Amino acid sequence: MSLLWWITITLMLLAAGLLLYSTQQNSHPKHIQRRFREALQQEGIHISHLGPLDLEEALHDVLEKVSRSEMAEIHRLLVQAGWHGAKARLIFLLMAWVLPVALGVIAMFYAVLNQDTWVNVLFHFLFVFAATFVAIRRLLRWQAQKRRDAIRKEVIPFLHLLRMLFEAGLSMEHILLVIEQQGKDLIPNLADELHLVIKRIQTGQDRADALVEMAAPLEVPELNDTIAMLKQVTRYGGNIRDSLAEYTTLVEQRQVSELREYVSKLSAKMTVVMILFLFPALMIFLAGPGFMGLAKALKGVSGL
């Protein structure tokens, strides 16, 4: 009964935190609050109390200091997983630290209720904390790698769309806008990344720089090569259709060779599975009657 009581308290605290977060979301946008505060400071007016924006920034700074050794990797993995912005980093850092501690405390209370020794109580806390701590980061790496593989498969349709739109005579901005709006069903992950590129271009950033900033953190070689060609055309001009056609053929051949290699490895794995599971059944089916006959014959000889 006491364990149920502690679990209820934990769930109530989580619900209160979610309610507080939802009430903050209904306030003014944070960038407007930040600009308003900066304007007041320029006029010599300083706000002494901490508002929701200051609390969020302070919490974000504390979590970043705690995760300083792995912050660069976490930022890169979050971008690869498709979670952009400071809010995504804050939410992940809260999950990466608060959830292990909460589950560790619950495991510790469970051990206390079972009247275990303090060594076992501490072991429960450390084990659950470490397991959750590692599992959250492994889950992030898995999601990032999964999305990178999906983007890598979307590069070939992206190249075909680029060729088609370049042949139609559209400009670079128009091409990116059309692919982002009309290609969501065909290349959903790249369409999301292009949406950020279009926002950066609309705010005044150079097209080539925006494309490079989009492709570099993703670490997809085929996408980096494609963006390099687009960057060259954006800055120096020239005919890109032939280059895109040749590179599309190269990428298709590369993926076909990788698919053949995967099939060959899969056939070798299936051979091992067949030896382990099918071969014993086959031996029983083929050699079973002979062994049974031999056993009956030997039994008859021993009876004589």
* Segment 189-224, tens digit of pLDDT: 999 899 888 888 888 888 888 888 888 888 888 898
Where do the DSSP E strands lie in the chain? none
Residue 253 has pLDDT above 60, yes or no: yes
- The answer to which of 64-68, 144-148, 150-154, 188-192 has the lowest mean pLDDT is 64-68
What is the model's pTM?
0.69
pLDDT attached to residue 122:
86
φ, ψ (nearest 5 deg) of residue 217: -70, -25
The token duo for 57 is 């920034």
For the chain, give every domain's residue range.
2-44+52-146, 150-253
Cβ count within 10 A of residue 7: 13
Taking CB atoms within 8 Å and a gap of at least 24, the contacts of 236-242 are: 240/162, 240/166, 241/163, 241/166, 241/167
Could you give the CA distance from residue 131 to residue 118 in angstroms, rounded to a whole number? 20
How large is the average pLDDT for residues 280-288?
78
How large is the average pLDDT for residues 56-78?
70
Q: How does residue 4 score in pLDDT terms, banded at 50, 70 and 90?
A: low
The token duo for 58 is 């302070």
User: Which amino acid is present at 220?
Assistant: V
Q: How does residue 172 score in pLDDT terms, banded at 50, 70 and 90?
A: confident
Instruction: Choose among 41, 86, 85, 81: nearest CA to 61.
Output: 86
Q: Find all residues with CB under 8 Å of 231, minimum gap 6, and list them.
A: 208, 211, 212
The token duo for 149 is 């593989």
How large is the average pLDDT for residues 143-169?
89
How large is the average pLDDT for residues 16-26?
52
Q: How does residue 141 score in pLDDT terms, banded at 50, 70 and 90?
A: very high
- Residue that wins the pLDDT comparison between 188 and 12: 188
Q: How does residue 28 score in pLDDT terms, banded at 50, 70 and 90?
A: very low
SS3 labels along 205-266: CCHHHHHHHHHCCCCCHHHHHHHHHHHHHHHHCCCCHHHHHHHHHHHHHHHHHHHHHHHHHH
Instruction: Choose among 135, 151, 297, 125: nearest CA to 224.
Output: 151
- The answer to which of 170-179, 212-221, 232-241, 259-268 has the lowest mean pLDDT is 232-241
Could you give the CA distance from residue 46 to residue 54 in angstroms, rounded to a whole number? 13
φ, ψ (nearest 5 deg) of residue 108: -65, -45
Q: Are 121 and 92 in contact (CB under 8 A)?
A: no
pLDDT attached to residue 5:
57
